[in-house]
Structure 1
């Protein structure tokens, strides 16, 4: 598969790159700062660009089968602009124009899913985020709505507390109906997102993952 990864130099993005290459995909990394990329591979192309540069994003989408979005949102009470939301708007429009359907994205349980069952993990994190990070929550929820109203084959992977701990391969998946720890390795998140490239299991769904 030809896979385009945004935010490829970040904490989760670098693992998505790692596992996409390991799984034999042809990977394009779209990043603001190519000098931060620490991976070199014959099957990896690095492209520099901004999240709202439609011309470059359209060029990056040429020939792609799947897009993986790993761009983070600032965990601050307030910050100027909503770059991730604006980037999503540009990306979704460009994907439609280029005929690329598959998008694998990420968020937190602040984004509610129709499949969610009432539980601590589907209710409390959203309340706490609204108090501590109101703007980040607003941006994340808006992205979730944007995906749900798009015509793409999207999957939105939700998680709570990513850690820089080793890969385990033991990821629990649920919608508030599975007991799990909030903490999860960034390596496990990246690997799980890459697994969705060849899986239709969670198309149109927002699974919560943990350890």
Structure 2
């Protein structure tokens, strides 16, 4: 089985991805700032204490991995360019280690102008983000630009409002406003992310996953 390098494995969605990856037999290297937040004990899990903004910590995490899952995001007090600078570190580490595939998690506020067809509700959400959290939205846009220029096999999984509802075990994969709704459970989003490890269907794309 493949070895996964996971960044953001203690977040609400990342935790589900990490747990399920181990259940499915993957080996996992998880970079976390606080190892106490990892409540799992598994022989296939290597917890690395560190920060995605430290190039050395990122290199240690990516070494000997087959696929990178970039699931980290902003929390209260995060640096302004967390996703941009963290992604730069990950891309450089991947190139150094010879790792080609990265799956990055972002939100529906990150636009794909040639494919998204936002409806009124989507436009309202994006407007609110531009007003309330413009720096986070700009950070997401810049992280996407870094991946596009990386020459790696990247994909960005975008999701709408995330819930803690039980998984429905079915979801739609489309674009904002196209075959899409405005929410999805974290469990179903985690399922989609894990399926992309073995699939190249959405390489160099930014699919929007929703109920």
TM-score (norm 2): 0.91
**Alignment gaps of 5+ in structure 2:** none
Distance in 1 (alpha carbons) for counterparts of 2:63 and 2:74: 26
CA contact (8 A) 1:161 1:183 kept: yes
Q: Who is 2:14 aligned against?
A: 13
After the TM superposition, which residues 190-209 of structure 1 pair with which residues of structure 2 at under 5 Å, given as runs?
Answer: 190-209=190-209
Distance in 1 (alpha carbons) for counterparts of 2:51 and 2:114: 34
CA contact (8 A) 1:110 1:141 kept: no
Q: Who is 1:188 aligned against?
A: 188
Q: Who is 2:94 aligned against?
A: 95
**Alignment gaps of 5+ in structure 1:** none
Q: Who is 2:85 aligned against?
A: 86
Q: Who is 1:155 aligned against?
A: 155
- Per the TM alignment, residue 153 of structure 1 is displaced from its structure 2 partner at its CA by 0.5
After the TM superposition, which residues 1-211 of structure 1 pair with which residues of structure 2 at under 5 Å, given as runs?
Answer: 1-74=2-75, 80-113=79-112, 115-120=114-119, 123-176=123-176, 178-211=178-211
Q: Equivalent residue of 2:9, what SS?
A: coil
Runs of 4+ in 1 over 6 A off after TM superposition: none
CA contact (8 A) 1:116 1:122 kept: no
TM-score (norm 1): 0.91
Distance in 2 (alpha carbons) for counterparts of 1:158 and 1:30: 22
Count of residues in correspondence between the two structures: 209
Distance in 2 (alpha carbons) for counterparts of 1:189 and 1:179: 16
What CA RMSD, in Å, does the superposition of the two structures yield over aligned residues? 1.9
Distance in 1 (alpha carbons) for counterparts of 2:203 and 2:124: 25
CA pair 63-181 structure 1, distance change in 2 beyond 3 A: same
Give deviations 1:89-148, integer Å, cap 9, x for gaps: 111111111111110001122222255142327644333211121111111111111111
Distance in 1 (alpha carbons) for counterparts of 2:78 and 2:194: 30
CA contact (8 A) 2:122 2:182 kept: no
- Per the TM alignment, residue 180 of structure 1 is displaced from its structure 2 partner at its CA by 2.9
